[in-house]
Amino acid sequence: MEDVFSPASLEQVLLSGVAPPTQGPTAAVAAVARNGLSGAEILFIERSAKRGDPWSGQMAFPGGRSSEEDEDSLATAVRETMEEVAIDLAVSRLVGRLSDLEGGPRGTGQRLKVTPYVFWMAGPRPSATPNHEVAEVIWVPVSELLDSSRYIDYPYPPLGPDEWPGITVEGERVIWGLTLRMLVDLFQRVGQPLTIRS
């Protein structure tokens, strides 16, 4: 896995450069990877529980909506990561980006383009200081994301009786929805497709 999930290998398979500008609302997220004790690992956040927030308590990558002050979507990903977890991506290596996705709270009809950027951090695991939007910062080994025994059908009652594909991490936490779609794209590109229904 180290051979296919390294900064040099990721640069070969990810999209390069900054996503071109687009009309309408946009957002960007940062998938931050590094070498941990169990091999490569990726940073996720658990969003704080908040009434009225469609992403309340959900697992995600740090990120958020673009601001008029942001030069581009890359600047959005870097700024939001600093604001949410106090990790400075200016000292990391941008290895590429994934395909843009259409996001927005399910069932609301609200839509925005979301650009996922992938960064590689060398050295010790950086300390994180979550802001009020983030309940927890979690580093998940890539090996766990590839472990099919963690794949579940996830019920989300606000969307009705349907169940959604998900990956369990850190106890009962579940990665699903837009973040899971980003992971499917990432692992497809590195030649390790997730064996999870999508």
Burial letters 114-127, b for 16+ CB under 10 A, else e: bbbbbbbbeeeebe
Per-residue pLDDT tens listing for the chain (198 residues) = 567 899 999 999 999 999 998 888 999 999 999 999 999 999 999 999 877 666 678 999 999 999 999 999 999 999 999 999 999 999 999 999 999 999 765 555 567 899 999 999 999 999 999 999 999 999 999 999 999 999 999 988 777 888 999 999 998 899 999 999 999 999 999 999 999 976
Q: Can you give the pLDDT at residue 198?
A: 64
SS3 9: helix
Q: Which helix (H) or strand (E) holds 135?
A: strand 134-141
Distance (Å, rounded) from C-alpha 118 to C-alpha 97? Answer: 5
CB 165 within 8 A of CB 176: yes
Non-local (6+) Cβ contacts of 115 within 8 A are 19, 26, 27, 28, 29, 73, 76, 77, 97, 98, 100
Scored b (16 or more CB within 10 A) or e, 11-46 reads: eeebbeebbeeeeeebbbbbbbbbbeeeebbbbbbb
d(Cα 155, Cα 174) in Å, to the nearest integer? 10
Degrees, nearest 5: CA angle 21-186-58: 85
Please name each of the domains of the chain with its CATH number. 7-145 (3.90.79.10)
